[in-house]
Chains A and B, each alone.
Chain A
């Protein structure tokens, strides 16, 4: 079946070169995942070894089972030193433990790769998926390219590598577009060469004697292929660029790690803020939670970052928006922090504290656990880089120890809050906002011009009017725990504003959002410095605290403590409410009080609109939209094929209704000839009818050819019956030929462009001419 020599050295060399170039370009799609030298070494070695196996297989004609065996053996032999180098003996020999890990990783490494923060380096066995993909695709792809006549199929292998690399990669991939274009260029070069080569071999095989102009034909084929490749590349860039500008993506780019469930879902746990008062209980307040060595004076220890308010609790993570704080991934090695700030190294030893939230400070760079549970704790540590909070699923217990490196970023001095402007971080919108909040806020910030000034005014108003009480000791005024909408409403409307960090942080966070600052609540400890000997700080239960962070354009997330300073709480004076300088719930005189709705900072009300919609209708609409988009996409993809089919139907219609019987006869023949061309029959160049019929084979095509010839070239007039019979014969022949083909071959023939090549558009759009 082979029409040309695929075993020649030059052919193998060129095929391999193109293949390796395409694979190398595709492999760089994995770089953002690993970003380690070991990955380059692994990829290069795997491509070389894979090519060697494919070439040997092609040369010695190894059957399929042998190829599979060699591939598996290579995987086991090279997998450990290349993909799990830490488990290799003397760096080159696979160890037993390494082999087990290699086999396990082939099945489980994929998910692990998706649930870990990038880049992963050569952490554990995470290089194994990339190793497996490259090895298998190189062997299969190059074998296809070298062994089968339609070796262009080999291009699917590097394409798969590219797609997987992008799919497993990070959400932001700025290099994706140049990467894909580069890949397209290499692949088109390869396909063009392949086409040109096959054409050249066919011409040589045809011309047994030296044929005039065959060299010109070869050159022409080469030029044509190259020109077509360049044209395709240009069209791809132009159409891609235009459509990206004309219809920018409505949604963010999604990769596999967005879809895969992360192994830790903070929503499975109750909000840590709701246990705030527990730490103030006398039994716990005085006892040591943990000791910290190396904590700078004034630094706070973060447990959890809460950005989602549902009207009852502030919690971590939300499914309403792509929440930065809700997605926890493994922290493989360390996170590079190249921002300005104080670098600290903390040693933490847990004593009374229990829970999954790991006390950290600033922006974590790395963490290592010590002690008997160290391995289990390391394994179950997850980190969220958006909220800078970490958890261990095992839970921290007395005796656990760890050290962490962190950077405490520079923050603005408290006097500069007025000059801040809101940042653009995404936080889930609050589901419920207490009614009184905006009214109170409006009176507090009146006169402030900028958002920063409003924020400052709001904070100073809180400090001026608020009193702190945990409501636990007998001498403290009543202060209900919790931070639901009703509690916040109560805080803002009661004659004396009494609460503690729990209520003030939530109030401040919601008000900051109303002002325009993205905000969140941080739950943690604010220890008094110098609790123990040298620089050791003993953190007590009573050190528990909550503060807010607002996102600013200047500094990013800035921590602000909105809780008023502790001071004596005045006696309740209900008879003289004016003492408390804050708005009364009765509506003030309209002449003095402007319409609140006018000056009020506009709140996002879209959410309320959504709630009013029937969820079923909304879901139905969403499903219909998705279906419509899918249908439109399918239509766009199928449009060229539909156009071909329609053009052919139109052509047939015109032929059947030609003006004269003779023209209908020759039209019938042409219809048959075009069908044979679409089915891949190749008569000699410039064929006569009988030559076409001979290429198809059988007597009936020959008879049809003779009838058509007589209609065209004989002196007699053709009658209508003859034309009808010819069309009947054409239909029968079509059925004969198509019934002997597979469905796929029939579809291919239906959308084939071969027969349309010589048919002019002008003819296609011409008006039919009926016989007079």
Chain B
């Protein structure tokens, strides 16, 4: 099995992994200046960005979601917009509208807030399903079509959507099919004690005034995303992912397990995380670290289990305890 050709032109080189990891580290450190003590969430956010995916944050108000989106955008010399979703928000309020220009006599397209590198869609579950669908379509296709004219939103493009887990009144819960379109779901959560004290020490500065220096141009981010796709994945790791996904489907507490799209998303994100770790190959640890953020929100729990207090996260933890990671290369 050792004799087979294992390197090809499409595979990332170790030097490229080192370069990738260096920039990734600097980006994370940069954003950490505004979001203290949340390294893992920042890493996940950049992993999502460089995996060309979108991030769903389930968070309470005031945990730093806007700061995160803004700092990410500034770090990559990109633009950022924030949209507060309300029940009366219309699709056109997001994508933009064509307005008749009396002087030229033409319809002129006025771009909506979706035209930015990083879009923060705040409280996405407050908008009507129609508006949600419009946003999700843009997320999937990366372009807006109005009046038959297609406008690409640009690259890089990442939507950071948030949901408030407490208030349920007057909200429209995202359908499972649409949740599947988010690469990851996680939460920032409250900072720990030491970070809170440090935040309070810098309370003189308004959070929204903080500007972080840019690290790389937006084009580099696109280049990095393309590079991340070339990380090597051993068949045994694919097998591991496959076993995890199958386990979500066979679990008694789950009504609907993770889809193939979920498995693909997990591999894609793991490739980015591997490169971020200066590796040009994925190891089971990458899969383990990302399995919960990537897969948990794609599971539909059995109502009875949900009633017992079982959560998707706890099911994923249990599955990771039961499915043993590969320790050897798979026999060819």
Contacts and interface: CB of A to CB of B under 8 A. Distances in A.
B322 interface: yes
Contact of A716 (B7, B237, B284, B285): B7
B283 A713 contact: yes
B273 to A, nearest CB: 13
A257 interface: no
A212 B326 CA distance: 24
Contact of B6 (A663, A684, A710, A715): A715
A463 interface: no
B327 interface: yes
B54 to A, nearest CB: 28
Interface stretch (B24-32, B113-121, B136-144, B303-311): B303-311
A662 B285 contact: no
A212 B282 CA distance: 29
Contacts of B236: 712-713
B314 interface: yes
Contacts of A709: 283, 285
A75 to B, nearest CB: 53
Interface in B4-58: 6-7, 11
A709 B284 CA distance: 9
Nearest to B330: A712
A210 B279 CA distance: 36
Interface residues of A, number: 29
Contacts of A716: 6-7
Nearest to A214: B318
Interface in A652-678: 660-663, 666, 669-670
Contacts of B237: 713
Contacts of A669: 327
A685 B309 CA distance: 23
B281 A715 contact: yes
B1 interface: yes
A528 B283 CA distance: 110
B315 interface: yes
Contacts of A710: 279, 281
A662 B281 CA distance: 15
B85 to A, nearest CB: 31
B328 A666 contact: yes
Given A670-B327, A712-B234, A718 B2 contact: yes
B329 A686 contact: no
Contacts of B65: none
Contacts of A213: 318
Nearest to A717: B2
A686 B318 contact: no
A715 B11 contact: yes
A604 B66 CA distance: 109
Given A212-B305, A714-B280, A660 B1 contact: yes
A688 interface: yes
Given A662-B329, A712-B327, A209 B2 contact: no
Contacts of A689: 283, 285, 327
B185 interface: no
A211 interface: yes
A682 B305 CA distance: 30
Given A211-B314, A212-B315, A661-B2, A686 B322 contact: yes
B144 to A, nearest CB: 40
B324 interface: yes
A335 to B, nearest CB: 69
Which of B1, B321, B327 has the most CB atoms of chain A within a 10 A radius of its CB? B327
A688 B244 CA distance: 14
A712 B310 contact: no
B247 to A, nearest CB: 11
A670 B328 CA distance: 10
A544 B77 CA distance: 131
B298 interface: no
Interface residues of B, number: 39
Nearest to B318: A212
Nearest to A689: B327
Contacts of A666: 327-329
Interface in A673-717: 684-691, 709-710, 712-717
Contacts of B280: 714-715
B123 interface: no
B41 to A, nearest CB: 20
Nearest to A771: B2
Nearest to B308: A210
A636 to B, nearest CB: 37
Contacts of B322: 685-686
A691 B324 CA distance: 12
A237 B321 CA distance: 39
B234 A713 contact: yes
A685 to B, nearest CB: 4
B323 interface: yes
A685 B321 contact: yes
B232 interface: yes
Contacts of A209: 309, 311, 314
Contacts of A660: 1-2
A589 to B, nearest CB: 98
Contact of B283 (A687, A688, A717): A688
A710 to B, nearest CB: 7
Nearest to A207: B314
B250 to A, nearest CB: 13
A283 B285 CA distance: 111
A662 B285 CA distance: 19
B221 to A, nearest CB: 25
B253 interface: yes
A670 B234 CA distance: 19
Contacts of A212: 251-253, 305, 310, 314-315, 318
B253 A688 contact: no
B234, B253, B283, B320: most-surrounded residue (chain A CB, <10 A): B283
Contacts of B293: none
A666 B325 CA distance: 13
Given A660-B1, A717-B6, A688 B325 contact: yes
Given A210-B308, A712-B329, A716-B6, A684 B315 contact: no
A211 B237 CA distance: 26
Contact of B281 (A211, A663, A684, A714): A714
A714 B11 CA distance: 10
Contact of A715 (B232, B284, B305): B232
Nearest to B313: A209
B283 to A, nearest CB: 5
A210 B309 contact: yes
B249 to A, nearest CB: 15
Given A212-B315, A712-B329, A714-B281, A686 B320 contact: yes
A664 B280 CA distance: 22
Nearest to A687: B325
Q: Which of A213, A666, A684, A712 has the most CB of B within 10 A?
A: A712
Interface string A207-221: 001111100000000
B288 interface: yes
A714 B253 CA distance: 36
Given A714-B281, A717-B6, A684 B321 contact: yes
Interface string A54-91: 00000000000000000000000000000000000000
A663 B328 contact: yes
8 tightest A-B CB contacts, nearest first: A715-B6, A685-B321, A714-B281, A660-B2, A686-B324, A713-B234, A715-B232, A709-B283
19 contacts: A209-B309, A209-B311, A211-B314, A212-B310, A684-B321, A686-B324, A688-B285, A691-B285, A709-B283, A710-B279, A713-B234, A713-B237, A713-B281, A713-B284, A714-B281, A715-B11, A715-B281, A716-B6, A718-B2
Interface of A: 209-213, 660-663, 666, 669-670, 684-691, 709-710, 712-718
Given A212-B252, A712-B329, A715-B280, 15 more contacts: A210-B310, A662-B1, A662-B2, A666-B328, A688-B285, A688-B288, A688-B325, A712-B326, A713-B237, A713-B283, A713-B329, A714-B280, A716-B7, A717-B2, A718-B2
